Amino acid sequence: MAMETGFHVAVVGATGAVGEQMLKTLAERNFPISKLTLLSSKRSAGKTITFKEEEIVIQEATPDSFEGVQLALFSAGGSVSKALAPQAVKRGAIVVDNTSAFRMDAEIPLVVPEVNEADLQKHNGIIANPNCSTIQMVVALEPIRKKYGLKKVVVSTYQAVSGAGANAIKEMKDQTKAILAGEDFTPEILPCGSDKKHYQIAFNAVPQIDKFQENGYTFEEMKMINETKKIMHLPNLHVAATCVRIPVETGHSESVYFETEEAGLTASEMKAMLKDAPGVVLEDDINEQLYPMATNCVNKNDVFVGRVRQDLDNENGFHMWVVSDNLLKGAAWNSVQISESLVKLGLLK
């Protein structure tokens, strides 16, 4: 099928776990593409990828790759984004960047369309896509903030290995097989490829995602804390996070405690409101043992919310369980959704 009327789109990091989901999502959503440029590191250049029955040769990403590109979706690591995103902007592209490179830059909007789509209006060429574990949480928290006000959030995550890339998935599976067969193995990637020590992820829970910061929090935890405040426009919100990797392939789960400004709400009111919230699917019926689970969220764009219940001591306190596909709403789908918003708002030219 020939490309139709639309935009010249580039995907940087086309061969990665997220890049693959981006292409799948662009195709599924029938995003208006007139030309698709697939870019990667030198190592993957020359390979071909089929998009809507058309074979496309992957090219090495260089500044000149962005000539004529109108929309560039980056997901090839922070250093690639830092080097090439400004080059793409210089050549007239709008960049939607899936790395942490620009997220906390005051001049760059950090966007989850259900929460702060209007921030896209203020873009200077680059729009940052938030961290996976942040996105699904703010989708669930925003309708609560909007209706009842939000004072405090304490989250503990149960994060899937696909967030650490295809090599991490392979490591988890190889380790699992080795353990079941009684064989030895050497952890080499998780919890964090660029850190000194590596630990078993199979049949384990590892309380480290990304590197430690001087304040004792990991970078992943600080991402959740800082990005949540920025996206929700709540610089004084109390947010705390503990980020944990568990042996799940795809689908992040989160145990979220939050306190509302408004008092006297019931769990029923909270659930009725969440049921109609954009991007949220409420799965909550204890009589039917209905609650979100990682295994049920894969390949879906929604954020699933359940186990909604009032704190037993604090009438402003509630607990909920939030699950989403970390490669989709946590990455590829949110990037494509931002792209759709750019089209809708007439910002993509």
- Beta-carbon contacts of 229 under 8 Å, excluding residues fewer than 6 positions away, are 235, 236, 237, 239
H-assigned helices in the chain:
17-28, 78-90, 113-116, 132-148, 166-180, 219-231, 267-275, 294-297, 333-344
Q: Which is nearer to its own copies, 5 or 289 (CB)?
A: 289
What is the rounded radius of gyration, in angstroms, for the C-alpha atoms of the chain?
20
219 binds its own copies (CB under 8 A): no
Contact residue for its own copies among 317, 340, 343, 347 (CB under 8 A):
317
Residues 206, 273, 280, 328: which binds its own copies (CB under 8 A)?
Answer: 206
Q: Is 238 a catalytic residue?
A: no
Stretch in the footprint of its own copies (CB under 8 A) among 29-37, 87-95, 105-113, 251-259: 251-259
Q: Shortest distance, CB of residue 41 to its own copies, whole angstroms?
A: 28
The token duo for 163 is: 């967030």
Q: Which segment (79-87, 92-100, 107-115, 200-208) binds its own copies by CB under 8 A?
A: 200-208
Q: Does 244 bind its own copies (CB under 8 A)?
A: yes
- CA gap 160, 209 in Å, rounded: 11
* Helix, strand, coil % in the chain, rounded to nearest 5: 35, 25, 40
Residue 267 binds its own copies, judged by CB under 8 A: yes
Instruction: Name the one range near its own copies by CB under 8 A: 37-45, 56-64, 79-87, 208-216.
Output: 208-216
Instruction: Count CB atoms within 10 A of the CB of residue 4.
Output: 10
Helices (H) and strands (E) in the chain, counts: 9, 14
CA distance 277 to 273: 7
Enumerate residues 102-161 that contact its own copies by CB under 8 A. Answer: 152, 154, 156, 158
Applying CB under 8 A, does 204 fall inside the site for its own copies?
A: yes
Per CB under 8 A, 215 contacts its own copies: yes
- The reply, when asked if residue 16 is annotated as ligand binding, is yes
Q: Is 252 designated active site?
A: yes
When asked if residue 235 is in the footprint of its own copies (CB under 8 A), the reply is: no
Report in angstroms the alpha-carbon separations of 40 from 7, 13, 149, 170, 184: 20, 5, 43, 21, 35
Task: Tally the C-alpha atoms within 13 A of residue 152's C-alpha that lie toward its C-beta.
Answer: 8
| By the rule CB under 8 A, 212 interacts with its own copies | yes
- Residue 46 lies near its own copies (rule: CB under 8 A): no
What is the DSSP secondary structure assignment for residue 328, as one 8-state letter?
Answer: I
Report CA-CA distances (Å) from 26 to 36, 94, 129, 168.
10, 16, 16, 25
3-state secondary structure 220-234: HHHHHHHHHHHHCCC
- The smaller minimum CB distance to its own copies, of residues 321 and 333, is found at 321
Q: Footprint of its own copies on this chain (CB under 8 A)?
A: 152, 154, 156, 158, 173, 176-177, 180, 191, 195-197, 199-200, 203-208, 212, 215-217, 225, 238-240, 242, 244, 246-249, 253, 255, 257, 267, 286-289, 291-295, 306-314, 317, 319, 321
Write out the binding residues for substrate: 159, 245
Write out the binding residues: 15-18, 43-44, 103, 159, 162-163, 245, 326
Q: Kindly list the catalytic residues.
A: 132, 252
